[in-house]
Structures are given as structure tokens and as C-alpha cells.
């Protein structure tokens, strides 16, 4: 049984999948098709855009999704396809594509619209905050329950929220500039091993993105979501998605609800335990963040996650 896990925003880097396209020119056609659909120069975004600009939601969401789809096809060329699909944050749209819920065209259209909407909302929030950027922060070395307790007063004020439950060792919070400043002091004073600001454009997976959810729901109205053809997991519930209708509803909640990644990892591990054949886990997209989270959660002791973000990493699979 093969599981593909897809990274989200923050995994981007200049030059994504350029090596794949150099090795196999047919993969470049995927990018060219994405350019026609999105009406944007995806090759320029992928290969020429500096990280500061690439980190904007309207650039990174399209770029990371296209890169992940290129790698899906590179693996397929080597006879490797998924039985289980799970995506972290934005990566869930790559999982929706890989599981057959969304067509290629609809996937590209939706991540383009989603990135534009989210960037607009982030810009508006920043403007209201007098130019102070809202964002996300990773906390290492404090348990989830303690983090939830520490920021409860800030959540009630609407300035900081638990956003990503990444591993037993790492939780991410979203917040306003004021909220993250307060969080940093609170977590350090409480003994956090590290507190790290993330290279993302806004306070994702929190109620601060409610305006984006309202606008994105309108975009989804005319889009067909098929029933999954593979096992597909949800960030919002941490469980298996059974219908296209459910997937569409969760795609809206996805913008304002936390990412329950540890729950998804648990389901993948349980599915592997029940499987009678060989099991493999692949991180399909740029970076190695998800491979590290799998290891940190303890599941990597029996089965490591194979990163596939560079051609050399899959050349001998």
C-alpha cells in the first residue's frame, strides 16, 4: 500500500521541479497546461521568483500545487501510484486531485482563486493592522494541551489561535501581529525549546480567515467534486472523506479550522498495519517538512517517509 502526503505553503523554494522537467520534457507540458488554465507564467513563478515574493499566497499556492502534480506524474512514470492521499493545508488540493475528486483543470482554477482570495484577505488584515503582518508561529517543546491553555485568553480576544497540530513535538499558532508578539513571550517564558515565525503570508487555519472562507465558498458552488477513488484524508476531521459533497464542505471549513495532521498520520499508520502487502510513504512535493513530522510522531521508526521533492531523490526508486 502506497500513501502520498502533499506539503503546503512554507515548503516552496526557487527552482521547484526544474530538475524533473530537465530529465523528462513531457513533465514540462503539465506546467504549460497550468499556465493556460491559470493565465499566469507558472514557469517564471517556479523558477525565477525570489522567496520573498514566492511566499505570497497568490504565488505559492499555484506553484506548490503544480510542482506536486509534476512529481505525482514523475512517480507514475516509475510505476508508483498512491492508494492513500493526504495533504497538509494547501497540500489537500493536490490530494483532491490525486484521489480523483477534482480534475486537473478544476484543481488549477481553484488553487489560483484560493491563493488570490487568501492574499487579498491577508493584505486587508495587514492594512487594518497599520502594515503589521499577521502570520503563523511554530512552537517546539511544549505539549498541545499547555499551548491551548496558554493562549486561551488570546483566542477569546480574537488575536491568536491553534492552527496546525503537526506532531507531539510541534504545534503552530496563527495570529495578529499583536497576538504573535504576546505568544512568543508567553511560550518562551513557559519553557518552549524554540519559537519560530513561519514564511507564510497570513494567519491561516484560524477564524481570522473567515472572509476568505465566505468568498471561496462562492467559487466552489459551480465546481464538481467527485467521490474519492482512493482513500482520502481530511485536515479538518483527521478522518477519511467518503463523498465529493463532504469534500466540498470541508474545503470551505479548511480555511478557518486547525489542521489535524497527527490524526491523519495515525489513520495512515493504522491502514498500513492492516495492509498485508508492502507499505511505502512518499512526501510528494517540495521540501522535507512532512517527512520530519512523520519521524517526530514516532511512526518513522518502522517505516520512514521518502521525500520526493528533487529528481535525485526518486531517481533510484
Distance CA 70, CA 92 (A): 16
Residues 6 or more apart whose CB falls under 8 angstroms from that of 210 comprise 255, 256
Give per-residue burial for 173-204: e unless 16+ CB within 10 Å, then b.
bbbbbebbebbbebbeeeebeebeebbbbbbb
The span from the CA of 168 to the CA of 125, in Å, is 31
Give CA–CA dist 264/254, Å, rounded. Answer: 14
Distance CA 159, CA 135 (A): 11
**Terminal-to-terminal C-alpha distance of the chain:** 15
Enter the C-alpha cell of residue 234: 481530511
Place of cell 510522531: 297
Which is it for the CA torsion 192, 197, 198, 202, positive or negative?
Answer: positive
CA distances from 125 to 26, 59, 113, 122, 175 (A): 41, 18, 18, 5, 11
Provide the pairing of β-strand 2-6 with 84-87: parallel
Catalytic residues: 89, 205
The size of the chain, in residues, is: 317
What nine digits make up the cell of 178? 499583536
Amino acid at each position: 500500500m502506497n500513501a502520498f502526503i502533499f506539503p503546503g505553503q512554507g515548503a516552496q523554494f526557487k527552482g521547484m521541479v526544474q530538475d524533473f522537467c530537465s530529465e523528462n520534457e513531457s513533465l514540462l507540458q503539465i506546467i504549460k497546461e497550468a499556465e493556460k488554465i491559470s493565465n499566469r507564467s507558472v514557469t517564471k513563478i517556479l523558477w525565477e521568483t525570489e522567496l520573498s515574493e514566492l511566499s505570497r499566497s497568490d504565488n505559492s499556492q499555484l506553484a506548490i500545487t503544480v510542482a506536486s502534480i509534476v512529481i505525482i506524474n514523475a512517480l507514475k512514470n516509475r510505476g508508483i501510484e498512491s492508494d492513500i492521499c493526504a495533504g497538509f493545508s494547501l497540500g489537500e488540493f493536490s490530494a483532491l486531485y490525486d484521489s480523483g475528486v477534482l480534475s486537473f483543470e478544476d484543481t488549477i482554477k481553484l488553487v489560483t482563486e484560493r491563493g488570490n482570495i487568501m492574499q487579498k484577505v491577508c493584505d486587508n488584515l495587514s492594512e487594518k493592522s497599520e502594515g503589521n503582518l499577521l502570520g503563523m508561529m511554530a512552537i517546539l517543546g511544549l505539549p498541545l494541551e499547555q499551548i491551548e491553555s496558554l493562549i486561551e485568553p488570546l483566542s477569546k480576544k480574537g488575536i491568536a489561535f491553534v492552527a496546525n497540530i503537526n506532531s507531539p513535538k510541534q504545534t503552530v499558532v496563527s495570529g495578529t501581529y499583536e497576538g504573535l508578539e504576546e505568544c512568543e513571550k508567553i511560550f518562551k517564558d513557559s519553557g518552549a525549546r524554540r519559537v519560530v515565525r513561519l514564511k507564510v503570508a497570513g494567519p491561516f487555519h484560524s477564524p481570522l480567515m473567515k472572509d476568505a472562507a465566505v468568498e471561496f465558498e462562492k467559487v466552489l458552488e459551480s465546481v464538481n467534486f467527485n467521490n474519492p477513488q482512493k482513500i482520502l484524508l481530511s485536515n479538518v476531521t483527521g478522518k477519511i472523506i467518503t463523498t465529493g459533497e463532504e469534500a466540498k464542505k470541508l474545503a470551505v471549513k479548511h480555511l478557518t479550522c486547525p489542521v489535524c495532521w497527527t490524526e491523519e498520520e495515525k489513520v495512515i499508520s493504522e491502514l498500513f498495519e492492516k495492509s498485508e502487502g508492502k507499505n511505502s510513504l512518499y512526501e510528494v512535493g517540495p521540501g522535507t517538512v512532512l517527512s520530519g513530522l512523520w519521524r517526530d510522531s514516532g511512526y518513522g521508526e518502522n517505516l520512514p517517509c521518502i521525500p520526493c521533492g528533487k529528481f535525485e531523490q526518486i531517481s533510484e526508486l
